A and B are shown apart, each in its own frame.
Chain A
Amino acid sequence: MSTQHSRSAARLMMAPAVIVLLAWMLVPLTMTLWFSFKNYLPLRGGDLGWTGFDNYARFVTSSAFWPSVYATLVIVGGVLVITIFFGVLLALLLDQPFWGQGVVRILVIAPFFVMPTVSALVWKNMFMDPVNGLFAHLWRFFGAEPVSWLSEAPLFSIILIVSWQWLPFATLILLTATQSLDSEQLEAAEMDGAPPLKRFWHIILPHLSRAITVVLLIQTIFLLAIFAEIFVTTQGSFGTRTLTYLIYQRVLESQNVGLGSAGGVYAIILANIVAIFLMRIVGKNLDT
């Protein structure tokens, strides 16, 4: 179909994108790998030679490692459960006919467009502050002792902030999937007398399963990398130091580049495991 001429033209057109992305992927990655096998402390002696797999071993045996794995799992897991559960409910609700659909949809999607530093600081100060926050006002109104959210329930607080940011994403994608549901099938089930819960379980949920998987995978990749929300709220204290934040601290704050790079390699491997599943779904869709 396409001629030899158009093929070489196509290759030429693709070259810039392929080359810059290849460089973007390979150069820093190679450097991270390189540093991860070195004892490299820029502020304390610089390059102190090769250390084999020492950094890899030290990263996972340091006292900060398991707590950071725990924090990462709780935050990622918590946000996933909340956003997918409420995302499905919201998608089903917004799919019903009601007055002002357009406006409500805009209201629901809005948090996704708020930059992470703004949403984290607004929640931290104006809602969760133990003295002047709205929650404190509300607690006092009911005669309860105000909670110092970010120090007393730090993981929950971060999960709440991040869920608020990502619920719109989950809702929007699940809503898109809901709208492609065959309404005749639902009507038939309704006429056969299937109760709402059964219809949800046997027709709606299976239809949404792929969209849910996609939301799960995409969000996992982005959630593993959350940074700003922790940077401007707790700075990793009170047990909110995630794997990403731990690596950031090792590399930039304590300038232990070798150790941080080994952590970086772990993070890359972890993200790739999730990515493989996502790519499989995306790749399947490319054929059709």
Chain B
Amino acid sequence: MARAVSTRRKTLTTVAAWAVGLLIFFPILWTFLTSFKTEATAIADPPVFLFFDWTTENYSVVQERSDYMRFLWNSVIIAGGSTLLGIIIAVPAAWAMAFVPSRWTKDILLWMLSTKMLPAVGVLYPMYLIFIQLGLLDTRIGLTIVLMLVNLPIIVWMLYTYFKEIPGEILEAARMDGAGLKEELLYVLTPMAIPGIASTVLLNVILAWNEAFWTLNLTAASAAPLTAFIASYSSPEGLFYAKLSAASTMAIAPILILGWFSQKQLVRGLTFGAVK
């Protein structure tokens, strides 16, 4: 790739790319800025961009009034728990399919993927009923299980594609050198599998954190995560832009940071290996 690019062209591309990038990012930037304004400044016409008296008051108000930490904690437990549970179930399965493939492997993988395509609304009432019967409605454990099931196909798929890249010859070499099953797992396979598992964890925490069908429909007060907390701002009272912005910033900041690390995994995880 030794294509000579003129400086003029590169400058033009730079300007265009930055303009588009900032335009797309603007709603997030605007939310961030507004979260540091007073309610009056937040709706000022003409809008103020950077030069206002920055205040962190909104953040403390949001925390005091609505107990933000509880929702945050629910999100952490549900997103983290469902991912962990999914990994525990998926690692052996993906492992088996990658290293001991049978003629069923492909069909099983595709079938697993097909469960991901099931529209959630189609099974809303049954899930609602099951949750009531089992006492799982509005509990963190119930939501953790559902989100694990929703994302399990993606976890299995991602792990499968990563494990597939571990060359089988390495195992044979280790065996020749006299490594037993324990050494093989501990010193050869695990170190090679960890990056793939880490990427899978990352993407699935993001997906679970942002999931907004089951979290809205199967929770009320006690297990509601941040998605549901933010939804409560859809019926506002009085001036609330700055507070909405503060709450939104707190809800998306952690995942935005994780997301930036997982760009590559996003393609792999969400296209099921169909685009390389």
Contact = CB atoms under 8 A, between A and B. Distances in A.
B125 interface: yes
B113 to A, nearest CB: 7
Interface string A198-224: 000000000000110010001001001
Interface in B1-50: 1, 3, 5, 9-10, 13-14, 16-18, 20-22, 24-25, 27-28, 30-31, 34, 43, 45-47
Interface string B232-253: 0110100011001100100110
Contacts of B45: 132, 137, 140
B241 A132 contact: yes
Contact of A225 (B108, B121, B128): B121
Contact of A6 (B93, B100, B270): B100
Contacts of B212: 115-117, 227-228
Nearest to A248: B121
Most buried by A among B100, B120, B130, B251: B100
B137 interface: no
A66 interface: no
Contacts of B46: 137, 141
A127 interface: yes
Interface string B68-106: 000000000000000000000110110111011010001
Contacts of B108: 14, 18
Contacts of A10: 96-97, 99-100, 102
B271 interface: yes
A157 interface: no
Contacts of B216: 117, 227-228, 231
Interface stretch (A48-56, A57-65, A74-82, A275-283): A275-283
B113 A279 contact: yes
A16 B10 contact: no
Contacts of A7: 100, 102
A153 interface: no
A231 B115 CA distance: 24
Contact of A247 (B114, B124, B149): B124
B114 A279 contact: yes
A225 B114 contact: no
B77 to A, nearest CB: 16
Interface of A: 2, 6-7, 9-11, 13-14, 16-18, 20-21, 24-25, 27-29, 31-32, 35, 90, 93-94, 96-101, 103-119, 121-127, 132, 134, 137, 140-141, 164, 167-169, 172-173, 176-177, 180, 183, 187, 210-211, 214, 218, 221, 224-225, 227-228, 231-233, 244, 247-248, 251-252, 257, 260-261, 264-265, 267-268, 270-272, 274-275, 278-279, 281-283, 285-287
18 contacts: A14-B92, A100-B17, A104-B21, A105-B263, A113-B252, A115-B226, A122-B30, A125-B240, A132-B45, A134-B47, A137-B47, A168-B24, A176-B275, A225-B121, A232-B231, A251-B125, A264-B125, A267-B122
